[in-house]
Structure 1
């Protein structure tokens, strides 16, 4: 099992914070690719008290030229230092409507993924009812990771282009403990971090304008920028063979700052659990 295989399977992140795979010098023209399928249980949208279960498709690709795809994220590793990782990053922001969040895809290193949101009928107790649809958008930015030791790394990413006006921005900072061995076939990884968002991002996802208040019946709310949430996560990977493994994750995310006070938020702390079988090509 290569170093990349161990680190990629051990990476853990949040629903909102999918990290990049670990970089590793690879022979020219080579690749590492993982596909899988499983299930996930999580909040209908961030801040919802309703839980839904969905199919969990998994995709992660790493090429020798530094290009990678990890779930809804894609980028390029430009650094060749064993301690530093950086490069451009793209991420697809999924659509959010009265049914919640949907249309997502997961990578091996992600702790939150989903395939299709279960549609819910609009009702008086659905706080997204009457709120504008947030359309899917491609966000652009970059990532920077620094290894304190081979097993510990600091992670960061900055993305711009969220919400319908394409002017929402989010900064994610974290620390990861990678590939903690529990025997020859089992790995545990731990993750913690926080995210910050500008006012336009928080207004799109947590704010209620005058028009929104009239349509939804919710009180007006001006969501300020700043600290958005904090997360704790753990991932367990069981490698059955060099090609097959079972990956399971548990993550708790708590809304903070202005986002936590939004009338859209029913429960500030959400728990996400997932498990999937993945195959390495």
Structure 2
């Protein structure tokens, strides 16, 4: 999956203080396996004016000792330190194509911009529960492509309604990109300008986007549940002003069917 998908998933997952897997976990730590398949409506790339519906497979194995293997979170470890929940994981960003390879990947609006290659990432997170509000900070640091920079995401979420079968929550997040990240995804070099016909543009460090949305989790039985989210993402600062950005505000819709083994 490409960078636009990664951005959308981060935003949608930030809408709740629980991940797909956590919706189905027992109160006491134990091994668990959760799988699911969903659909998401998302832009071809961050700032694109065209969107598409894509399948989103999900699989997560968690262990009582805190280790997790997840298509959503990567391979990592999570634990509690006092009142804080901390995690460290090895993830992957699929990068960005400079042309439309097929329905699932790329955009012809990026012709001449060159490919942004996939990169392994170190994903570090810390969370804190302040009453009913869950607060979080996550940084994603590229490992094998350090020139792509890093991002830092602040998130907050709170429940709106809850009963035996349904949970509705509200969440917000904001992502800050360093200079290298912003230039990689929103800047246009002199060389890229020649081949793409976009004007040269230098993107500085700043907030890349803000997201807000509502999520709904419905428990069908002890094994099955449905999770949906509806929201919007707004590009900010130099990301919004980039010549690559054709639409600053993007709707986000996702639904998934989850099974706990």
Please indicate, yes or no, whether the TM-score normalized by the shorter chain is above 0.5: yes
Partner of 2:213: 233
SS at match of 1:133: coil
- Is 1:154 the counterpart of 2:148? The answer is no
SS at match of 1:57: strand
Partner of 1:172: 153
Structure 2 stretches lacking a partner, 5+ long: 1-6
Write the distance in 1 (CA, Å) between the matches of 2:52 and 2:143.
24
> CA distance change for structure 1 residues 70 and 253 in 2, over 3 Å: closer, same or farther?
farther
The question of whether the paired residues in 2 share the 8 Å contact of 1:163 and 1:201 is answered with: no
Write the distance in 2 (CA, Å) between the matches of 1:157 and 1:135.
22
Partner of 1:135: 117
> CA distance change for structure 1 residues 61 and 177 in 2, over 3 Å: closer, same or farther?
farther
Which string of whole-angstrom CA distances, capped at 9 and with x for unpartnered residues, describes residues 102-141 of structure 1? 9xxxxxxxxxxxxx82455x4xxx2x11111111111114
1:70 to partner: Cα distance: 4.3
TM-score, with structure 1 as normaliser: 0.79
SS at match of 1:224: coil
Partner of 1:78: 79
Write the distance in 1 (CA, Å) between the matches of 2:81 and 2:145.
36
The question of whether the paired residues in 1 share the 8 Å contact of 2:37 and 2:57 is answered with: yes
The question of whether the paired residues in 2 share the 8 Å contact of 1:36 and 1:57 is answered with: yes
The question of whether the paired residues in 2 share the 8 Å contact of 1:99 and 1:117 is answered with: no
Which string of whole-angstrom CA distances, capped at 9 and with x for unpartnered residues, describes residues 159-195 of structure 1? 21179444411000010114831x3211112210111
Structure 1 stretches lacking a partner, 5+ long: 1-12, 103-115
- 1:202-281 aligned at under 5 Å gives the runs 202-281=182-261
Whichever structure has more helix as a proportion of its residues is 2
Write the distance in 2 (CA, Å) between the matches of 1:252 and 1:70.
25
Write the distance in 2 (CA, Å) between the matches of 1:119 and 1:207.
18
Partner of 1:64: 64
> CA distance change for structure 1 residues 32 and 143 in 2, over 3 Å: closer, same or farther?
same
The question of whether the paired residues in 1 share the 8 Å contact of 2:58 and 2:72 is answered with: no
TM-score, with structure 2 as normaliser: 0.84
1:87 to partner: Cα distance: 2.7
> CA distance change for structure 1 residues 87 and 56 in 2, over 3 Å: closer, same or farther?
closer
Write the distance in 1 (CA, Å) between the matches of 2:137 and 2:58.
22
SS at match of 2:195: helix
Write the distance in 2 (CA, Å) between the matches of 1:45 and 1:228.
13
> CA distance change for structure 1 residues 52 and 280 in 2, over 3 Å: closer, same or farther?
same
1:55 to partner: Cα distance: 1.3
The question of whether the paired residues in 2 share the 8 Å contact of 1:162 and 1:168 is answered with: no
Write the distance in 1 (CA, Å) between the matches of 2:79 and 2:186.
35
C-alpha RMSD of matched pairs (Å): 2.6
